[in-house]
Amino acid sequence: MAELPDFMKYANRFNAADFTEKIQRIAKRAGAKLVYAALILYYTLQSDRTSAADKAIIIAALGYMISPLDVIPDAIPIAGLSDDLAVLLFVLKKVWTEVDPEIQQRAHEKLSRWFDDDEIEEANQLFDGTNEN
């Protein structure tokens, strides 16, 4: 896997309104895995149980995702969102212990509004190995 970009410098680009707009706009093109990871991180960010340090890296990752100025521009088909997914998965693995089953369920319910069963099954594979250290 390629080296991750310095996504921490994107923390100031995150806000809930831009996140919601971007997720709705790119959902189908991005794929269920990216959207699921983003939703889980977004809901984890809202949790009172999430540490300040973990919130900081979640904010940076979500800021990176919504920024039009990331390493691979999102307008490039397929590759444009691959760096976003890599960052989201990296952070998801870092904060996995903060992710409650209720957060996963909430994200899954939102995902089911936008994707069909086959796409959701692909998103469920996101957790293959996520909680391994």
Q: Give pLDDT tens digits along the chain (133 positions).
A: 445 566 777 777 787 888 877 777 767 767 888 899 999 999 999 999 999 999 999 999 999 888 876 555 555 555 667 888 889 999 999 999 889 999 999 999 999 888 888 888 888 887 665 444 3
Which of 30, 22, 16, 35 lies closest to 113, judged by CA? 35
| CA atoms of 112 and 36, how far apart (whole Å) | 10
* pLDDT one-digit tens code per residue, 8-26: 777 777 878 888 777 777 6
pLDDT digits (tens, 9 = 90+) for 83-98: 888 899 999 999 998 8
Q: pTM for this one? A: 0.76
